[in-house]
Amino acid sequence: MGKVTSLDVAEKAGVSRSAVSRVFTPGASVSASTREKVRKAAAALGYRPNVLARSLNTGRSRIVGLVVAYLENQFYPEAIERLSKTLQAKGYHVLVFMASNDNKATQSVIDELLDYQVDAIIAASVGLSSDLTNRCEDLGIPIVLFNRHQYDSQLTSVASDNIAGGRKLAEFLVAGGHQRVAHIAGWEGASTQIDREAGFLEGLRNANLPLFAREIGNFDFETAKEAARRMFTAAEKPDAVFVANDHMAFAVMDVLRFELRLRVPEDISVVGYDDVAIAHWPSYDLTTVRQPANRMVTATTNALFARLENPAIPARQIVLEGPLMIRGSARKPKEGKA
Amino acid sequence: MGKVTSLDVAEKAGVSRSAVSRVFTPGASVSASTREKVRKAAAALGYRPNVLARSLNTGRSRIVGLVVAYLENQFYPEAIERLSKTLQAKGYHVLVFMASNDNKATQSVIDELLDYQVDAIIAASVGLSSDLTNRCEDLGIPIVLFNRHQYDSQLTSVASDNIAGGRKLAEFLVAGGHQRVAHIAGWEGASTQIDREAGFLEGLRNANLPLFAREIGNFDFETAKEAARRMFTAAEKPDAVFVANDHMAFAVMDVLRFELRLRVPEDISVVGYDDVAIAHWPSYDLTTVRQPANRMVTATTNALFARLENPAIPARQIVLEGPLMIRGSARKPKEGKA
DNA sequence: GGGGCGTTTGTCACCGGCCACAACATCGAA
DNA sequence: TTCGATGTTGTGGCCGGTGACAAACGCCCC
């Protein structure tokens, strides 16, 4: 059992423990000769400082807690991979916690995170009660919401401009001459859902078009399928549907094509939201609004580090616009119109 | 800045620090009355023990390091979600590290993991040099390889029976009457690739069928597309192809159908490996071998905890058989044949 | 050769818990 | 009543580092 401590290195190098510590602390004052001695002894013994022990008195663990609800939607693995790599490059590491949308469970998950003395928390697609966030703020632990806003409290958050995105989709469908436009919603507690739908409805309203039908898919694949079945077995069907994210849009397209034998986009136009990798696979070729995952990740880590360095920085709601990706799953406007 | 320590609680409850500690240590001897006093004081102050400080002298951090190469292939997010939840339920948490297949990078990643005093390491789809694993063993930190074997060293590992799986696929294609059977390989350094191909070739050999063509896709979506383009623009095309995982198989099917206007399975049969969620989406309806992700996760955590409790347990290579999922992407054998 | 200055070094207390140990209280049995 | 057994409590050292502080060192210059 070869645990090597700074004392072992100190003895071998003939110096004190703190000399060893200083060699491994950037910006500490050590002479070249001791540094060399310590380096050699450390290498010979295979010594590496114990991060946990260090964090005990520096008060910084260099651990960032990441709370995430589900990885089924491809958007999150993509984002997590980027987040983790970015943080890794800056010497931080990610402690992952799976949470449900259940508030009580989230509470205990955050508690456990705090037990680990994380330096900061990133909450992806999870709602946080305000007493929870207050507790974190009180401890000086910055929280950043990823791909979600909080309406009641002023939290730092990063999301795409879901209202504008929803509006763009409505305008696109309207320009394409659709008359009976429907919506399959995600989980109604999510700000992404609320904003996307609000923008979408606004876009329809501007064109004096009512929402023709509405079902709920809860951001879940199977639930979305059922929603699609209900929506498209009615006597009069929509001629276009905005599905609240790509993940559900694929489910809807499958039901339309393979169960109901309807053609997309000839019979029904389908648009989604996120622009995950599968969206541009030719089998789906989904018209959607891109969530700029890498810019969102960059903004998230920047906001995190900014608050880590200066806790006084006020909370900001960062909103990034993403482009409409026009592909083949929805009828396009005729020439001349934009 | 409301950091609450055991001392604060002790003072408020009128007891010693160790009394507080005992209340939060299962199996310690405390009277009912002190326990009650401490509980109340702790609740009033919002006290929770500092896991990092605790780990310093118990020597157990309750952190499990998870090294993973890429999340693009849907199989990994699925597995990670399960792994994380299972470990969470047992009071452990997952520190995620992204690694490449580059050996040097993996080395430094593992070093960083060790800095965090992780109790165990799970390496998913990553190769580990033997000096690395030796170092971990030496420190008494169990390593479990997930979805990968190591040929040179005796490491605990969990994988599906890739040889049998490959053989099943070959037998199925042979029974379907295919004559020109090809293979698009993944990354050739991966045991999954080596085993799947070995089993597949064995199956072909048993039927006296040579491998008609072979390309390399490196488990990467775009690389697989290029491989498919090369393979299927030749004068004489294969009539069946085994793509080394589902993720690449989707890429291949897209190229066949949308670029080369070939029909699947009428012109070419495609089979994959993994049975990720997308495989049963009707757009692909992919015949594949299921990797039993939940059983693999259970086996992984079981092996982990077994070695954590008793380090003397010898390393085991756990191999789980997964069924052939017969769907519509490959021509099926005629009636009467199995 | 001695004084002054900046750098390097070791000493020691501390981070927040846990645990071995000894002290103490309580209680039953001799 | 006394003794020992049992159960509970506080003391103090330790886990593996860091950092304030002051001592020791080297160096330059007078």
Asked whether the predicted pLDDT for residue B299 surpasses 70, the reply is yes
The strand pairing partners of B158, in sequence order, are B146, B318
Inter-chain contact B254–A282, Cβ cutoff 8 Å? yes
State mean pLDDT over B224-247.
96
Is residue B303 predicted with pLDDT exceeding 60?
Answer: yes
- Ramachandran class of B10: left when φ > 0, alpha when ψ lies in -120 to 50, beta otherwise: alpha
Q: Which is more confident, B325 or A32?
A: B325
Task: List the A9 CA – D23 C1' distance (angstroms).
Answer: 23
Residues of A in contact with B115 (CB under 8 A): 48-51
Which residues in chain A are contacts of B49 at CB distance < 8 A? 115
Instruction: Report how far residue B191's alpha carbon sits from residue B142's, in angstroms, rounded to the nearest whole number.
Output: 20
The Å distance, CA of B334 to C1' of D4, is 87
Residue A268 tokens, joined: 């029904």
Contact B277 A74 (CB under 8 A): no
What number is the average pLDDT over the span B286-305? 96
**Interfacial A residues in 247-286 facing B (CB < 8 Å):** 250, 253-254, 257-258, 277-278, 281-284
Q: What whole-number distance in Å separates Cα of residue B275 and Cα of residue B269?
A: 16
Q: Considering only alpha carbons, which residue of chain B is nearest residue A141?
A: B1
Using the predicted structure, report yes or no on whether residue B205 has a pLDDT greater than 60. Answer: yes
Contact A138 B1 (CB under 8 A): yes
Do B51 and A117 make contact, defined as CB atoms within 8 angstroms? yes
A93 touches chain B (CB under 8 A): yes
Give the residue with minimal CA–C1' separation from C14. A57
Residue B337 pLDDT: 46
Radius of gyration over every alpha carbon of chain B, rounded to an integer in angstroms? 26
pLDDT in tens, chain A (338 residues): 568 999 999 999 999 999 999 999 988 888 888 999 999 999 999 999 999 999 998 999 999 999 998 899 999 999 999 999 999 999 999 999 988 767 777 888 888 999 999 999 999 988 777 778 888 888 889 999 999 998 877 889 999 999 999 999 999 999 999 999 999 999 999 999 999 999 999 999 999 999 999 999 999 999 999 999 999 998 899 999 999 999 999 999 999 999 999 999 999 999 999 999 999 999 999 999 999 999 999 999 999 999 998 888 899 999 999 999 999 999 999 865 44
Spatial distance from the CA of B31 to the C1' of D1 (Å): 29
Encoding tokens for residue B308? 């954590």
At residue B88, what are phi and psi to the nearest 5 degrees? -55, -45
Residue A89 buriedness (CB in 10 A; 0-12 / 13-18 / 19+):
exposed
Q: Is A50 on the interface with B (CB under 8 A)?
A: yes
**Full strand arrangement of the beta sheet holding A156-160:** A317-320, A156-160, A143-146, A120-124, A63-68, A93-98, B93-98, B63-68, B120-124, B143-146, B156-160, B317-320
Whether A277 sits inside 8 A of B78 (CB atoms) is: no
**Secondary structure element (H or E) that encloses residue B78, with its range:** helix B75-89
Chain-centroid distance, C-alpha B137: 21
